[in-house]
Each structure stands twice: as structure tokens, then as C-alpha cells.
Chains A and B, each alone.
Chain A
């Protein structure tokens, strides 16, 4: 019963019988004869694919790694060093005390020429910005528009002040705003750190309203972190925006600011840190990162190495497959591989 036979609509002589006929209509769908390509994963294909991936991946890996290597990065952990020796036993007391002098000075050496813009990051460790209680403790509505100032239902436990008036911006995230500050100087000459344009444009333009001003912020009993200038609308508080784009992992970096001048190699940078933020309570670390960028972003060898590794592994696999193919070839479509041919008992059916 070929398709031709089935589709031919007859010469009309069988018109009457056709009407009563329960013969199914031919269609490629019902007869399961849709045209299809039938890829077979032959050793040739396997090897070709591996080689192909290798050839594509290794250059990408090299380029990425190169880009990442070009990035100059200075990382300085200062949380412990910025504690005076007498407080080393009780760092929490030091940081919580309002009387202690939190200023701390660090000297960093620029290893290589750092072309502007140079980015300043702070990096926190063991800080669960992705904790469920933390992540949801914010009100995007309130941040966006003045009209929703009292939309604090999602902000517990930092929704309202003791007397019930809404906190703007509310929630744990804003409350725990990072408040260490860094002042940079090279050869006694202060470097200006620009805080402009450190948040994503979409945050600035859409998520943080230009008519929303901080209100009742950090006025409660316990101060979590930084304060905000209540005269500036949220749309200009880029520190807050950066902070409120909560990090995915408990170890994260956030952009602090930009230095718009080149830093020469071997220059000594003096950083004056106002060590305000309490990471000591939960055993976190604080790091200052000064870094340039390339097209790939900051220094991150991961992508480059991953590409190289995968590419290299593919080439290796390709070679091993080729060797295997030479040493122990398996002819394609050899009927002797069929199970019923391999098993002599079963073939006499």
C-alpha cells in the first residue's frame, strides 16, 4: 500500500464505495511518514564535534583569559587590620561603639599601570544578602514612587519606626546599607572617587524614584548601617541602588566608585578607610578592591579557563577517539553486533 495508491483519488468508478469506506485518509502525519532527518552519532560525528568545539573554544578561552589577565586588580583585606590592637579580642564592641575612632589608613602599591577609569569595589564575605528573610525585606513600590511611601507591608522587620510612620526606604536591605568609606590619595594628592554612574541605568531611571526622599531612615533603636542624605532623592543615591541589587552569593563585590585618573605602576596609594560597617558580628570579611576593566569586565579568569579547559578536553577526547578508532574500529552497521547475532542460541528462530 504505497502512498501513491493511497492518495490517488480513484477514477470516480469507486465513488459509491468510497463514500462508505472507512479507509483512513492518507496523510503523512497519520502514517507517521513526516520527512525527518535522522542524525546518527557516528564516531566521525563525535570526533568532528569535539574537534569543532575545541577549535572554537580554545581561541575564545585565550581571548577571554587574555582580557582578564590585562585587568589589574588590587585586593586588600582590611577588616582585621583596621582594628586597633586593644580591641582585637572584642572587635564587635569596637565597631559598635560610637566613641571609637574608626579611621584606618592603608597603603597599596599599584603593580601595573592602571588606566582610568579605575573601579573601587568593596567585597564582603559570609554576608547572606540572598537570605530569604533579607531578600524580600524591601518594597520596590515605595522605592519607585512617592505615592507608595506607606507600602511597607513587605519590609518587616524594618517597615516602620516605633511610632508607626513608614520608613523610606524600608526593609532590611536598605537598613543594612554598607557604610565604610574610602578616601584615596597618591603622593598626598587626593584622588577623587566618583560615585556617579555606578548603578545600572535601569535602576536609576525606573526603580528608584526621583521624587522619593529618605524619611525616618536609620532613626530606630538599632542602626544597621549607612545613613542617607534625606535631601537627595533616591534616584541619586547610587550607593543605595548598588547595595539594593542584592547579590547572588554570600561572597560578593559591590561597586563603590570610580577613580577617573590613571594610576602609574609602583605608585603608592594611601587609602583612608572609615571602618564603620559591622562584619565582625557574623565573622565576615571586608576587602577593598581596586581594579581596571576590560571588555569582559573585572578580573575573572573563570570563563577563560573554563573555555580553555573544555576546548582542550574536547581536543583530547577527539584524539583519544581517533586513537580508539584506529586501534579498535567498530565498523558502522555491522550486523554481527546485533544482539541476536551475537547470541548464537537465538538466531535460529
Chain B
């Protein structure tokens, strides 16, 4: 479908960065696909180089450089018709092409005497279909033309004489000196950077249009040219540039600039490419090097691989089946004709000179030629207008319904949903696996201090999304506590407890523990304060958002950390001794024992101003508890319980502990520490060992719970989707703990589930790794993964056999995944993961995300959907059947690669359960109905063939046959495809299980098609035999006899009426458009036949049907038959539908019945979900409420993306950054920018 999906590009005026952005980005994928050159692959270059005389148009004239005008249109007025038509038969989907070609062939065939029908029969439908396609092409091309015009006439300042003059882009020529003034403006051509308003001759550009990277890049002009900034100076510039010929390599450029006999080498660093935009720079001056279609961006055209829906691929099979049926019918007819033809039928004039087709002397030739005749005659069996109808339906579905759905409009970011392709609407109704990114998709990447447990007491009254989701699930209503006056919500802090806030903690029973807790928060971290040293204005720069949240929490509790020096931490403590007193305390930091994934803890040894030596430690509960001093078990157990509670609520926990150190003890330890620090071999390991010596006998203070803020409504959405039979996999680059936590928070995993964890973070693997032989490591991990997989699979299958087995979850990390995806293990991995109801893959690379997606897509043949927001999700989005991008925030890459863009994860519910399900349902109905109506119609012809001596005589008039598909039955089916609704949107969401019918593909199985085929067989028999049998004798009192055309007109009338009424029977909801279209179609037939049979034309036609309708209507026979035949024909379907609904109801039918008497929810008011618990549910809820003996999950997570690099960068060493990290962070920056703009 090269057709409407081009709309993808033209309708992709994306939200955010402004019109120009999308305009240019469109240009990228809008280029004619014939020039599909993949980004990065370098085309063979033209030999030689070009010489450009800067600022000298005359000198450049002889070379005839191309202009800067750009045209992205596919056609012009002359080429439109031939090229457009040619594309219709060569350049579209396979089956559609076959259908078009078939009709083209048939049309040609119908001009020969072989054809029983006038060419018009096949030419009209074909040309109408082509006409519609061409109109659409023309419309799109027109839009492109307008777009080009806008781009081409964008003004740009060009140096003319000594002044800047504004001229449109298209007038720009190679060698011109231009000034790019507009901040965030796009470069009009590939420009050599000469001078910038910034000092040092630098400018910043954004290259998102070229490579999708949103971070700013620095370009630096040659020092020699820095001065040419003002028009006066610039006009003096007379350089000559020798550079390579235009090519599509974005990252290379070689050339020389010759100024005053001085040759300066040029590099890509001085080149500003068209498509990039200027940032953070007032203006720049440059010389144009490549223009128009010779710019690098234009020479790169991305051919977006278009996706086809599974249903459409199945449709191809159906069409093939139809071709098969057609062949069989023709074969039967052909054999019959060979047998029939005989000279004894003298009235046929079969004498010696008869043409080959009827020559009894050569029956084989007769059969062969009749075969062709019949192919022409039965051509209606191929629904040629099907594709164009489906295209129209899908186009309206996506542009009118999905894009304009108010339920998917996000007010905060002002983002509506966007269907970037209309190919995949119905695919949305069959998704079985969702692969979701975590950060930005499920979570907001916002850590907030949410709760804490201090000295065995829980503080914090908030309720997490996960708890809300859990409550929804069990049908409980949680009363959200009204926020008290003391509650505070700032970035990183969302905590409310009057017992702690505003210094009230002093009145708690154990203020000293609280104080330790807060000090620990304020001291034990590696955060850098930035900005004003006031609580309101300070910004904390932390390697991990968790740390920032903790320090912010300390600030809000009155321990404001405001300054860090290499050896001290300054904390402004209020309310320490008595109310209102504020005191700056400086703690001397003696040692920092850093966090790493093995230690899972971090300690700081500090000296109070009064000389007290304390070690503060925070870390995972598992490592802290091991190192606690004896005693106070009550409090430890309390805290553990709280940890579990937090963990199952999806919060990220850290335990805090401290230890008072004696000076001597510290001194002796410090010596060892210094030694370890200065050791040259295995420093890390030694440091860890030394740390162990002091991190013991700790005293537990409490624990913190940080909420990794989920996007709104995520748990509910996930819960709904999983009820819909969709399995959700989380694929994230985060750490395992974080991932598990989020899985808990999203209720993907809970404590009732059996979890299989395949991790590379085991001691055995670590040990092998420490030995450092990569081959051995690989072998070892592979073996480990293999064994683990086998073990898990056995266990899983064991559970699977048991009816009441627990649900299963699989958690695997990237390193293990690498081996699990290995060819030999892939099968087991797939088997295991399909058994599990949730799968979490952590620490995965973008490539692995795509691999996992393809594994399920290709290996399990399931329909997959990927959703993500960042550049790291692009590959996964492209790999899945349906790619969904999160739009509205930042980073366009995911959106640009996606098929659908929504603003929030929770809109998936609407996108899948409402739009997807409906689209699926509608397209299924449209396809099966098309199949039915064409088959029925053609079969009546087929039966007639048996009574015409297999001569291929047509039953219907040419025009009847040609207009049958395009007028008399065309519109209702489109209305059906647009408006049919089985249950309302709110019910679709209330009963997500209805979605399973799509996953099972209940509505487009061969069985369903078979039923339709059966009834079209039945109906065609009724049409043919009832009409002919009853028409035999005289009619009316006058006893006159009908001829062939009277009978066929009668039959055709019955067919048109029946087929249209049958459509109404297939509808679940009947709007007035149904009435209008169905009534209109039947009426159209009558109007047509009244006129058509009422007139005689001088044109060359046999007046076969002259007056037939009037003759018919003058008899009672007409009315009796018109009542009888459609009813008899429809009785079969009616009976089938009645029995089907009665005995084998579809789920949606039950739901319809349940809500039969409810008023049409025209406002789609959310239906209140009733809290009737079934006994089973009550029991399960009661079980869920029972205290658990052993809970596995305590929710430890401490996220530090680039943690190591943070300190490394302080030390001046740059850790290698991963590409997606860069992009992610860059996009974070631009988010603030765009929000400001808005």
C-alpha cells in the first residue's frame, strides 16, 4: 500500500519542536522511494571535485550548479497519469497488484470477441478504483508541492554588495554568502561555516533531522574566517573552495579553501548541513557549498519500511483462494462447453465456417477459449474495490478516530494521539505481546522520597500507584487521605506525615534516632549542591536521582545540605536543640566508601564538630542486615516487615545504619584503607575488602522508600491489558533490582508469583569473570544460562500441569539474555518465556530489545507491540508488528520510528481495547462481507452457465455487473467499516477480556469465511433457482412471457436488495448512516434501472434491458418474488445467527445482552465498576490479605546510571558513554526547552 501510508509522512506534523522541524523531517522520508539510499551507506562518488568561487556569482555561472529549489513531488502534470497508473499495477501491495493486473488483463480481454461481456463491465470498476487511488495520489502530491513551496520560499539573508538582503531559499546559489539569523532556524543548504556571533567562532547545531540525535553538536569555523561577520567584512571575502562532489555521506567532507593563495583544509567540522538547525547562537555567516537536491540530507533518503498487518496478509490468502475458486469454476465451465458444443444445435449456426470458440471439430480449443471467456465473465469474484475500500476505511479510522480521540488527548503536554500509518489499525486489535520500555514509558524517571521507616515506625501516608492499582484489582476502594497542611511536594519529595514535618519529629518518642536518620540522609551521599545556597533555590547534582531525593528529603526535614568541599559537608540544621534555632554544622568527611553493584552499599565516615566519629551507611537490606550489631531484634524485624511492605508496593528501599567509631579503631583501619587505595594491583578488590572491616556492627536506623514515579494510570492499564490476554514484557536498560521494583509497582509481578531469575550477577560468574579470560567467561555463562533455562523450564512445565499452580514470572538480565538468544538456547528460552505471564529483561541493549521482539514475533508467530519513548527503543519499535512511540515529551526518534504515537502509556488501553478491537472487528467484517457479496453474485452467474450450454453467456446486463461493486454495494460496507461497534468504548474497557477474541482471531478464521461461503452458495442458489423457476410461465392476466433479461433483472434486484439487507444483519449498531447508505444503494439501483431501461440510446448497444423493469413491475410476480427471494435467502443467515447467539455466543454478544437496556452511553461516561465480588474473588482477596511468612521482595534498588562515570568525570576521566545514554540525556535537556517554548 504505497497509498495512504504516504499520509504517514504528510500527517506526521509532529508535536513539539515547531512546524519547520516536521516539515523538514517529512522531507526526509518523503523522497521518492526509487531513490532509496540508506543512511550512512556512501554512494559511489562522482569523480573530481568542484570549485566554488565564494561571493562571486559570475565566476560560478559557467559551472551551472544546481539551484536550491527542492521538489519532493512524485509527479508533474505530464507524468502524473502514466506514472501514477503504472505505479498502481506495479508498485503496491502484492495481492492488490495482482488484482489490478488481473483486471487490466480482463479489460483487455473483454475487447476481444472471446468476452461475453462488454469491456465496460471490467473497465468501469478498474478505472473507478484507479481513479480513486490516483485522486489520493494527486492530493498527496499536491500537499507535497505546497510544502515544497513553503520551504522554497523561506527567506534567507544573502550578501548582496555590502548589505544583507532577504531572498527566498530557492534563489540561493552555490557560492553565496548567507547569514543565518534565526535562532532554531534551519540551514537552507549545505553551508561552509565562516563566522559566528559566538566568540571562538563556534556555533551549536541540532542534527535530529539527520541522525535523530537531539543533543547539540559544536561546529567551529576556521580561525582564518572568524572576522567575516559583518556585511562590510564579509563582502571582502573572496575565497575559492575546492571540495568533493555532492554525496550522501553525512559524516565526511573534504575540501580546501584557498584564500589569498593560502590553502586551508576543510573538514566536516566546518560544514553546516541542510536540515540541521542553529541553536544557542545568535547568527552565523557561511558560504553555500551544496544546494537543493545536492545537499547531503536530500541525497539521503530513508525508505521507511512499511509494515503490513497480519490480517492483510491473511487476506492475500483469501484472495488467492478466490483465484483458485475462479479457476475451478472456469475449468468446470470450460470442460462443459467442450462437451456441449455440437452441430446438432443447428439454430446456433455452427456450420463449417464457425469461429474457433464454437467449432465442434476442435473441442479442446473450444474449452480453452471458453476458459478465457469465463474468466472474463466471473471476474466479479475478485473484489477489486476491496483494497480501495479498506484503504479508505482505515484512513478515516486513523485520521478521524484515532487522531481525534479525546480520550487519548493529553492535556498537560497538549498531545493528541497520532496514527502515523493507517496500515495497522486492525493489527492493534490482535496484539498479544507488549514490549515496554521502562523509563519514560512506564515511569516518569522521577524519584520521590515517599515513605520511611525509622526506629520501627512507618512514616508517610501516601499511597502508591501500585497500591491503587492493586486496590482496583480487588475491587477495594482506597480512601486517599486528604493532604494535610504539612504535606510538601517538590521534585524528589512527595511525603506527608504531620509527625515529622515542620520539626514535629522532636515530639516523637525517639527523636535521637530520627536525628541520626536525617543526618545520615544529609551526610552519606555523593551529591553536589549547585546554585544558591538557599533551600528554595539549591539544585542537587546527583549521579542517581535516588540520592538527590534523599538529600532533598533531609532538607525538608530540616537538615539542609548546602555545600560540599573536598573534606567537609556543610549542613544547615534547624530545630536541633530548640525551636527556631538554625545552625550551620560542618562535618568533616574522612572517607567515602563508594557504592558498587557488588557492595550494594555506600558508607561515609565523618567527624562531627564535637569530634564524634561516625560511619553512616546506606544500602540494600540484605547487605546491611548481615552487618548489623547484635540485639534489638524487635526493631530489626519491624523494619524488615516494613521493607517488605514497601517493596511489594513497588517502592525502592534503602536501609540506613550507623556506627560510632572509636578514634583508635578508625586510625588503624584508615591505615589499611590508605594502603589499599594506593595499591597498584586489584585496587578495587582490596578497597572492598578493607571496607568490609569497618562496615560491621552497624546499628540500624531505619529505611527509606522512594517512589520511582510511575506514569499516571500505569498499573491500572497494565492490569486491564493483562485481563485482555495481553502479556507485557518489560525490556529495560536498568538494573535488575530497579526493573523488578517497577514490575512490582506495575503489578506485573507480585509475591504470589513464582519468579525465575536468571542473572549474571552470581558469585560463580563473578569469579570466572575476575579471572578475565573472555572465552572462558562466555563459555561459563552460556553453560550457566543453559542449565538455568532447563531447570526453570522443567519447573515451569511442572507448574503448568497443575491447575492451581502459581503464575510465573521470568527475570533475566542482558548478559544472560545474550546467551539465551543464542541459536541453541533460543527455543528453550522462548518456551519458558511464553509460559510465564510476565517477563522482565533488564540491562538490555537496544539491539537485544529488538532481538527479543523478533524472537516472539518470528519464533512464536505472535503479534507484538513495542512501546517506548527514547532512541534506544527505536530498533524495538521497528522490529515489532506495531510500534508505539510516547510522544509529547521530547526525543522524536521513537515517535519517528513508530506507527502510532500516544502521549501516555495508559492510552494503550484506548488504543488497543477500543480502537484496535473495533478496527479489527470492522475490517474482518468488511473483508468477509466483500467476499460474500462478490461470491454470491458470481455464483448466480455460475449456475446460469450450466443452463446456457456452458457458452459463457452473461446473465446480467454489462452495466449491472460493472456497477454492482462500485455503486450498488459499495457504500454500506464502508459505513460498516467506519461505524460498526459491538459494544461501546467504555464497555470495551470494562470487559478487557473481549479483546481476546482478536488475539484468537475469532472473526477471520477459515471457519468464519467458510460459513460466509456456505451462505453465499445457498443464497446464490436461491437467487438463481427461485427466480428462474417462478418465471417460467405466463405472467399477469395477459399471459405474456418473460425473456432472459426480465429474469436476470429480477434476479439482480433480489441480489442487490438481499446483499444490502444482509449487511444490516451483520451490523451490531445501526446508525442513520447505515440506513442512508443501505437505503441509498437499493434506491440507486432502482433509479439506475428506471433510467437505464427507460431510455434508448443511439449508441451502439443492444437494447436488451429496454423497459424490462417496467414490464416486471407491471406484474404481481415481481412483488411476490421480491418479497420471497430475499427473505428466503436471508433466512439461512438469520437462523444461523439466531442459533449461534443462542448456543455459541461470542463474548461480546453476552456483554451486549448484559448491557442491553442501558442507555447508549453517548457521552462515554465512565461506567462505575461494580464491586460485586464473586466467592472466588473474595477468597483470593482474603488470601491476599493474610500476612505472609516469607516475602522475597523487599524492594531494594539504587539506581545510578553512569554512577561510575560521575566520579570519574570529577576526576577528569570520561567513562565511555553509551549512545542511548547520551541521547536520553540530550532529550531531557530539550524537554525543558520545549516546555518553555510552549
What residues of chain A have their CB less than 8 Å away from a CB belonging to chain B? Answer: 1-4, 6, 20-43, 46, 49, 53, 57, 60, 64, 117, 119, 121, 127-141, 144, 154, 156-158, 172, 175-176, 197-200, 202, 206-207, 222, 224-225, 242, 245-255, 258, 278, 281-283, 291, 293-300, 302-303, 306-307, 310, 314, 317, 321, 324, 330, 332-335, 337-340, 344-345, 347-349
CA distance A40 to B1156 in the complex (A): 8
Contact A46 B1040 (CB under 8 A): no
Contact with A along B335-369 (1 / 0, CB 8 A): 00000001011111111011000100000000000
Known: A34-B979, A314-B1131, A337-B1145. A2 touches B1164 (CB 8 A): yes
- For residue A91, give the distance in angstroms from its CB to the closest CB of chain B: 12
Known: A1-B406, A23-B409, A303-B1124. A32 touches B1162 (CB 8 A): no
Known: A119-B1039, A338-B1150, A349-B722. A34 touches B1073 (CB 8 A): yes
Contact A6 B406 (CB under 8 A): yes
Please report the number of residue pairs spanning A and B whose Cβ atoms sit closer than 8 angstroms: 324
Contact A154 B1102 (CB under 8 A): yes
Q: Residue B1038 at the A interface, CB < 8 A?
A: yes
Contact A200 B1044 (CB under 8 A): no
Interface window among B58-66, B292-300, B396-404, B483-491: B396-404
Q: Residue of A at shortest CB range from B1111? A: A200
- For residue A118, give the distance in angstroms from its CB to the closest CB of chain B: 9
Q: Residue B162 at the A interface, CB < 8 A?
A: no
Contact A38 B400 (CB under 8 A): no
Pick from A38, A128, A175: contact of B345, CB below 8 A. Answer: A128
Known: A40-B1152, A248-B1031, A291-B1034. A310 touches B1127 (CB 8 A): yes
Residues from chain B with Cβ under 8 Å of A199 in the complex: 1040
Known: A132-B952, A282-B344, A295-B1116. A30 touches B400 (CB 8 A): yes
Contact A298 B1034 (CB under 8 A): yes
Q: Residue B953 at the A interface, CB < 8 A?
A: yes
Residues from chain A with Cβ under 8 Å of B1100 in the complex: 141
Q: Which 10 interchain pairs have the tightest Cβ spacing? A: A298-B1033, A333-B1153, A245-B1043, A202-B1107, A24-B404, A298-B1034, A132-B951, A333-B1154, A297-B1035, A36-B1069
Q: Residue B92 at the A interface, CB < 8 A?
A: no
Contact A25 B404 (CB under 8 A): yes
Q: How many residues of B are counted as interface, with CB atoms below 8 angstroms from the partner's CB atoms? A: 119
Residues from chain B with Cβ under 8 Å of A134 in the complex: 347-348
Q: List 7 A-B contacts (CB under 8 A).
A: A1-B409, A24-B409, A38-B1070, A41-B1137, A206-B1107, A291-B1033, A339-B1147
Contact B1102 A140 (CB under 8 A): yes
Residues from chain B with Cβ under 8 Å of A338 in the complex: 991, 993, 1147, 1150-1151
Contact A253 B1138 (CB under 8 A): no
Residues from chain A with Cβ under 8 Å of B947 in the complex: 130, 248-250
Contact B344 A4 (CB under 8 A): no
Contact B948 A306 (CB under 8 A): no
Known: A31-B406, A248-B1043, A338-B1147. A43 touches B1142 (CB 8 A): yes
Residues from chain B with Cβ under 8 Å of A176 in the complex: 347
CA distance A131 to B1070 in the complex (A): 44
Q: Residue B540 at the A interface, CB < 8 A?
A: no
Q: Residue B1128 at the A interface, CB < 8 A?
A: yes
CA distance A97 to B814 in the complex (A): 99
Contact B1116 A131 (CB under 8 A): no
Residues from chain A with Cβ under 8 Å of B996 in the complex: 339-340
Residues from chain A with Cβ under 8 Å of B1028 in the complex: 248-249
CA distance A4 to B1071 in the complex (A): 22
Q: Residue of B at shortest CB range from A292? A: B1039
- For residue B1106, give the distance in angstroms from its CB to the closest CB of chain A: 6
Contact B1070 A37 (CB under 8 A): yes
Contact A31 B1033 (CB under 8 A): no
Pick from B373, B1070, B1151, B1162: contact of A33, CB below 8 A. Answer: B1162
Known: A128-B348, A297-B1035. A248 touches B358 (CB 8 A): no
- For residue B350, give the distance in angstroms from its CB to the closest CB of chain A: 8
B345, B719, B1145, B1156 pick with most chain A CB within 10 angstroms: B345
Contact A255 B1040 (CB under 8 A): yes
Q: Residue of A at shortest CB range from B344? A: A282
Pick from B351, B953, B1111, B1160: contact of A135, CB below 8 A. Answer: B953
Contact B1176 A347 (CB under 8 A): yes
Contact B1033 A299 (CB under 8 A): yes
Known: A207-B1106, A298-B1035. A37 touches B1069 (CB 8 A): yes
A41, A140, A307 pick with most chain B CB within 10 angstroms: A41
A25, A144, A349 pick with most chain B CB within 10 angstroms: A349
Contacts A291-B1039, A310-B1128 known; 9 new A-B pairs at CB < 8 A: A22-B415, A24-B404, A33-B1163, A119-B1034, A281-B344, A303-B1121, A310-B1127, A310-B1131, A333-B1156
Q: Residue B416 at the A interface, CB < 8 A?
A: yes
Contact A35 B951 (CB under 8 A): no
Contact A24 B403 (CB under 8 A): yes
Contact A303 B1030 (CB under 8 A): yes
Residues from chain B with Cβ under 8 Å of A141 in the complex: 1100
- For residue B1147, give the distance in angstroms from its CB to the closest CB of chain A: 5
Known: A40-B1156, A299-B1033. A30 touches B1115 (CB 8 A): no
Q: Residue B108 at the A interface, CB < 8 A?
A: no
Q: Residue B669 at the A interface, CB < 8 A?
A: no
CA distance A300 to B1027 in the complex (A): 12
Contact A1 B1162 (CB under 8 A): no
- For residue B683, give the distance in angstroms from its CB to the closest CB of chain A: 51
Q: Residue of A at shortest CB range from B400? A: A30
